[in-house]
Amino acid sequence: MAGSYLHLPYTELRLVNGSDPCSGRVELKYLDEWGTVCDASWDMRVSNVLCRQLNCGSALAVVGADWFGEGSDPVRADVFDCQGNETRLSACHRSLRLVGSGSECAGRLEVFHEGSWGTVCDDSWDLAEAQVVCRQLQCGEALSDPVPAWFGPGTGPIWLDEVECLGNETSLWSCSLKGWGQQSCGHKEDVGVVCSEFKEIRLNEGCSGNLEVFYNGTWGNVCMNQMDSDTATLICQELNCGKSGSVSPEATPRLASAKNWLDSVTCRTHDSTLWNCPSSPWDQNDCNSFEVAEITCSDSVRLVDGGSRCAGRVEVLHEGQWGAVCDDGWDIIDSMVVCRELGCGVAVEAKRNSQFGPGSGPIWMDEVNCSFSDITLKNCRSDGWGKHNCEDEDHAGVICSGQVKLVNGIHLCSGRVETLCGKTWDTVCDADFDLQDAEVVCRELDCGVPVEVLGAAAFGKGEAYTELRLVNGSDPCSGRVELKYLYEWGTVCDASWDMRVSNVLCRQLNCGSALAVVGADWFGEGSGPVRADVFGCQGNETRLSACHRSLRLVGSGSECAGRLEVFHEGSWGTVCDDSWDLTEAQVVCRQLQCGEALSVPVPAWFGPGTGPIWLDEVECLGNETSLWSCSLKGWGRQSCGHKEDVGVVCSEFKEIRLTEGCSGNLEVFYNGTWGNVCMNQMDSDTVSLICQELNCGKSGSVSPEATPRLASAKNWLDSVTCRTHDSTLWNCPSSPWDQNDCTAFEVADITCSGKVSITI
């Protein structure tokens, strides 16, 4: 190594803006263009070499922070790891970098030699070598050394192979190296490194939602303290989500267990990224569970005072000021354009007469007349900016769906239309729904053009079950319990079924009294879906619908998280949040056999209910087996509204995802944490079911070798083998949670065929 020197791609060096040629801002010339050098890794040793090269003696001091003024040309991120005794910077042959992640602290490892950046082969490479790289780059600790070429294969030379470090070295160049350019591998074996200082930002709903940052291997929250419009705007621009943004005055984290990584973030007008902005130190904050930052981005339009980013009074940004839109001529097509521009699905309703209250600023638009092809509200025809003849009670509003899906159809692109309002999926009335509305739905779901609109609940009603029966017994009064829901018969889980419920069912079916309750598929296994309805009957009711003590969690897509609803007098109703905390939530999770309570989200987190509010001021000790054993104020006795509906998240709340949408690592959410699924025994039936469940097509394939996004993530499941009659991953046989026999290269990486293009 002693004789290996690189020849840098730049041709000249200079100091500018100083009092003489031997002081000033460092600039280097590359491809005939002068640029400055980032000061992050520049030290006295590098300065001494530069001074020696420029015939300027020895360095007296290193000053950063634009001491000699800010350069106007590109900033070079070259790392000069000099010993200090070299005669030229070109003798400092030890530059290295991580590329391909958008961050300096994660990516494909590249080293600079003989005028070119080249990669490093993965032979003998493990976490010990990665640790040295992270230390040398001042990027913290090594979190993982991903599967080769995880950050993409390089295109230049492969400079190093068989690098072996002890792990305590301060520089990769202190490790054992095979020699420059001596290797027998290809770019598919290029090593990558992820360090703890690798940072990312995201809004959890794309261009809106909780602001979360990735640091030290974990996603966490950012508190909203001192966060202003400049900060929100910078974040939106950094995420390519528009030119402006707003911060919600109150929000709660997706997961109460997540860290609050940052607080007091205050970006300045000259900051170019969130990481330049002043803030509190990592993991030091002064915010409560309602003070996490929730941001809504927009180029030029927003909805306000509607309770969510997808509903409210329409306001547009013009000349740096937000203003309202007059409702003259405002219709569903205009609303569709707004919803589409905001990424809020389809328009559910066009509101007029300032139903979300009047705006306080100017009125920017009137007589808006959008066509279906308009991309933004500003593209639509109107009377012109600021020209109007309306009053404060004439402002336009919109209610958007948020998201839309088709359910109960024969394939992914047919079925009953359901829209996500808040956190609850609701059906859409067929009264005014026509082919033009259907075209919006089909476009949103990548399903082509609509063929037909069917009304009268052609794909089933969005209601509860309508019939009950006993099957496979010796007579009509014995057998497996089945209930009919959405025209489909399904069985009932036996976990919470007891003699009291059985007596009510027998009475309802004119079968006298119950003699015994038998589970464990005594009357055979059903072929339809398994219902998890909980019937908390006293035993003296005449019908199961009279068992007013059934409870459920709705609005999350899972039975173990959502808005709490209880069944009473034939209707599902909500529970008010007065006196409600984790103690009461623990009882609910226990009663539903959903594990432990993880969090009690902010009221109406899963959307406000629409029925009665049945309970208020529920008080439990926490050791009860049923909510009905707790102290209750009484049925229907409350003084609150649906904005105070309680929600619960239990540890058995489960979700699945592919990390890149319809491809990538298969990850499952369990016990408050995302983890991996191992690929052992995973076949085509299993992959097809997963792709269908995620609306990603009918089939897919598993990569023969893959690595998790984060080595620190748990391997939650192994040996998942779905059968043809399984309807969800959670029905499929597998190993117990957190018990697996897989290596770091055996996590499931799935590629689905994509959304089908069949029309409805």
Alpha-carbon span 201 to 619, nearest angstrom: 39
First to last CA, the chain: 67
Compute φ and ψ for 232, nearest 5 degrees.
Answer: -60, -40
| DSSP string across 110-175 | EEEETTEEEEEB-TT--HHHHHHHHHHTT--SEEE-PSTTTT---SS-EEE-S-B--S--SSGGGS
Q: How far apart are CA 313 and CA 307, in angstroms?
A: 11
The confidence score (pLDDT) of residue 463 equals 41
431 has a pLDDT exceeding 70: no
The whole-number pLDDT of residue 534 equals 55
Mean pLDDT of 713-718: 86
Arithmetic mean of pLDDT, 384-397: 87
CB 615 within 8 A of CB 632: yes
Identify the pLDDT of residue 485: 52
Residues near 41 by beta carbon (within 8 Å), at least 6 away in sequence: 79, 80, 81, 137, 138
Highest mean pLDDT among 417-421, 437-441, 697-701: 697-701
The 3-state secondary structure of 452-517, one letter per residue: CCCCCCCCCCCCCCCEEEEEECCCCCCEEEEEEECCEEEEECCCCCCHHHHHHHHHHCCCCCCCCC
pLDDT given at position 422: 44
Q: Are β-strands 363-365 and 321-325 bridged in parallel, bridged antiparallel, or unpaired? A: parallel
Give the pLDDT band of residue 708 (cuts 50, 70, 90). Answer: confident
Please determine, for residue 458, whether its predicted confidence score (pLDDT) is greater than 90.
no
The pLDDT confidence band at residue 314, using thresholds 50, 70 and 90, is very high
Non-local CB neighbours of 398 within 8 Å, separated by 6+ positions: 303, 311, 312, 314, 335, 338, 339, 347, 349, 350, 351
What integer pLDDT is reported at residue 9 of this predicted model?
46
Ordered alpha helix ranges (H), 181-246: 229-238
- The structure tokens listed for 42 are 């520049």
Q: What is the pLDDT of residue 11?
A: 61
Count other Cβ atoms within 10 Å, centred on residue 205.
18
Percent of residues in the chain assigned helix, strand, coil, to nearest 5: 15, 30, 55
Binned at pLDDT 50, 70 and 90, residue 15 comes out as: very high
pLDDT at 691: 92
Q: Which residues on adjacent β-strands are paired with residue 492?
A: 531
Confidence of residue 536 (pLDDT cuts 50, 70, 90): low
pLDDT greater than 70 at residue 650: yes
- Indicate if the pLDDT at residue 546 is higher than 70: no
Highest mean pLDDT range out of 285-289, 332-336, 369-373, 552-556? 332-336
Structure tokens at 113: 């030699």
pLDDT at 659 > cutoff 90: no
Burial of 697-733, coded b for 16+ CB within 10 Å and e otherwise, reads beebebbeebbbbbbebbbbbbbbebeeebeebeebe
- By three-state DSSP, how is residue 305 classified? strand
pLDDT (mean) for 306-313: 76
Is residue 463 exposed (0-12), middle (13-18) or buried (19+ Cβ within 10 Å)? exposed
DSSP state of 360: S
Judged against a pLDDT cut of 60, whether residue 670 lies above it is answered with yes
Q: H or E stretch including 758? A: none
Q: Does 755 have pLDDT greater than 60?
A: no
99-105, Cβ contacts within 8 angstroms, sequence gap of 24 or more: 99/151, 100/151, 100/152, 100/192, 101/151, 101/194, 101/198, 102/200, 103/198, 103/199, 103/200, 104/77, 104/137, 104/139, 105/134, 105/137, 105/139, 105/140, 105/194, 105/195, 105/196, 105/197, 105/198, 105/199
Tell me the chain's radius of gyration from C-alpha atoms. Answer: 31
pLDDT at position 220, please? Answer: 86
Q: Quick one: which of 705, 687, 693 has its CA closest to 752?
A: 687
* Mean pLDDT along residues 406-421: 67
Residue 714 confidence (pLDDT): 84
The model's confidence at residue 757, banded by pLDDT at 50, 70 and 90, is very low
Exposed / middle / buried, residue 175 (Cβ in 10 Å: 0-12, 13-18, 19+): middle
Interatomic CA distance for residues 252 and 501, integer angstroms? 38
100: left (phi over 0), alpha (psi -120 to 50) or beta: left
E-assigned strands of 161-225? Answer: 192-195, 200-203, 208-215, 218-222
Range in 52-66, 544-558, 645-659 with the lowest mean pLDDT = 544-558
Query: Mean pLDDT across the stretch 735-741?
Result: 84
**Phi, psi of 505, deg, nearest 5:** -65, -45
| Closest to 145 (Cα-Cα) out of 155, 154, 133 | 133
pLDDT at 483: 79
**Residue 290: what pLDDT?**
78
pLDDT tens digit sequence for 477-504: 999 998 765 446 778 777 668 888 888 8
Long-range contacts of 723-730 (CB under 8 A, 24+ apart): 723/685, 724/685, 725/527, 726/689, 727/529, 727/689, 728/689, 728/693, 729/656, 729/668, 729/686, 729/689, 729/690, 729/693, 730/654
Q: Do 370 and 377 touch, CB atoms closer than 8 A?
A: yes
pLDDT digits (tens, 9 = 90+) for 565-574: 987 766 788 9
Helices 435-444 and 332-341, axial angle in degrees (round to 10): 0
Exposure letters 603-631 (e unless 16+ CB within 10 A, then b) = bbbbbbbeebbbbbbbebeeebebbeebe
Whether residue 643 is predicted with pLDDT greater than 90 in this model: the reply is no
Residue that has been written with the tokens 């958007």 in this structure:
400
pLDDT of residue 687: 92
- Tell me the domains of the chain and their CATH numbers: 12-91 (3.10.250.10), 96-195 (3.10.250.10), 200-298 (3.10.250.10), 301-400 (3.10.250.10), 467-546 (3.10.250.10), 550-650 (3.10.250.10), 655-752 (3.10.250.10)
The 10 Å CB-count burial string (b at 16+, else e) for 634-644 is eeeebebebeb
628 pLDDT more than 80? no
Question: Angle at Cα 602 formed by Cα 600 and Cα 608, nearest 5°?
Answer: 110
- What is the rounded CA–CA span in Å between residue 185 and residue 170? 27
Beta strand 647-650 with 561-568 is: antiparallel
The residues facing 550 across adjacent strands are 567
Q: What is the pLDDT of residue 2?
A: 31
Q: Of the candidates 639, 719, 650, 710, which has an alpha carbon nearest to the alpha carbon of residue 678?
A: 719
Q: Is 410's pLDDT higher than 70?
A: no
Which two tokens mark 250? 């109150």
3-state secondary structure (DSSP) of residue 546: helix
Euclidean distance between CA atoms 715 and 743, whole angstroms: 10
Which of 250-264, 624-638, 645-659 tops mean pLDDT? 645-659
Report whether pLDDT(532) > 70: no
In this prediction, residue 584 carries a pLDDT of: 92
Residue 176 clears pLDDT 50, i.e. is over it: yes
pLDDT level of residue 81 (50, 70, 90 thresholds):
low
pLDDT for 315: 92
The tens digit of pLDDT for each residue in 95-140 reads: 788 988 777 888 899 998 766 789 998 888 888 899 999 888 878 8
Q: Is the pLDDT of residue 348 over 90?
A: no
The mean of the pLDDT values for the chain is 79
The DSSP output letter for 378 is G
DSSP codes joined into one string, 251-291 = B--S-TTS-EEE------TT--SGGGS--PPTT-----TTB
Mind listing the pLDDT tens digit for each residue in 234-270?
898 888 777 677 787 777 776 666 788 899 898 877 7
Give the residue with greater pLDDT, 574 vs 533: 574
Whether residue 629 has pLDDT greater than 80: no
- For residue 30, give the nearest of 79, 92, 73 by alpha carbon: 73
Token pair listed for 375: 């991309």
Partners of 271 in the β-ladder: none
Q: What is the pLDDT of residue 110?
A: 93
Of 290 and 284, more confident:
284
